[in-house]
Structures are given as C-alpha cells and as structure tokens.
Amino acid sequence: MFQKDMKYSLLLDFYGDILSERKRELTGLYYNDDLSLSEIAEISGISRQGVRDAVKKSEAELLELEEKLGLAGRYEELRVQITNISSELKSIQTADVATNAKLNSIAKELSQLNL
C-alpha cells in the first residue's frame, strides 16, 4: 500500500514553488490536506493512477532538491539546536536575579522564533 511519509510535507514547504503548479497542487492535496488519491482524482478530474504518478514524481523531485540544497535538513537541525539551547538557558539558575531574568528573556526570544 502507498504509505504517506510526512517528510514530504516539510519538503513541499521548502521546495514546492519549484514544482509545476499542477504537481504542487496535487501533492499539497495529498500531504497537506490529507486527501486520498481517489479523492484527489475526483476533484482534479484525472485518474487515481495519474494522481499517484504525479505525487511520486513530485516526491522524487523534492528529494533531489533536498539532496542538493539541504534546506529542510538544516532547518530541522537549527530547530533542534534552538530548542536545546532554550532548555539549557531555562535550567541555569544563579544567585543574581537580573542574570536569571536575562537568561529567561533570551530563552523566551528563542522559543518565539517559530521554527
């Protein structure tokens, strides 16, 4: 059975504009809107196999772009690092109230980066 791998949703966010409009639309319906191949086929007026082929080609293109550019991977690494730094900052406690307030402020700013 054709299993959904949600990494493609992230890759679509990064590289979707590079795909053709049709592939981007079909792949977005599949991964972002969580529609089945049959539902997409009905909406788009093409066969289920046509939808599957377009999604598979999109997946291959997205993987190739990620392999060459690595933007999504770097994003995930940065997100994890920011989360770890924020946690470490929150765990540091000193006798100085002003220092604690500054550390908490920095941790809060990091958490608000929306990564």
Question: pLDDT, tens digit, for every residue of 18-61?
Answer: 999 999 999 999 999 999 999 999 999 999 999 999 999 999 99
If pLDDT is split at 50, 70 and 90, which confidence band does 1 have?
very low
* pLDDT one-digit tens code per residue, 54-97: 999 999 999 999 999 999 999 999 999 998 888 888 888 788 88
Placement of tokens 């997946």 in the chain? 59
If pLDDT is split at 50, 70 and 90, which confidence band does 3 have?
low
DSSP helix/strand/coil, 44: helix
pLDDT(110) > 90: no
- 45's CB contacts (< 8 A; 6+ apart) are none
HSE value, Cβ hemisphere, 13 Å, CA-based, for 35: 19
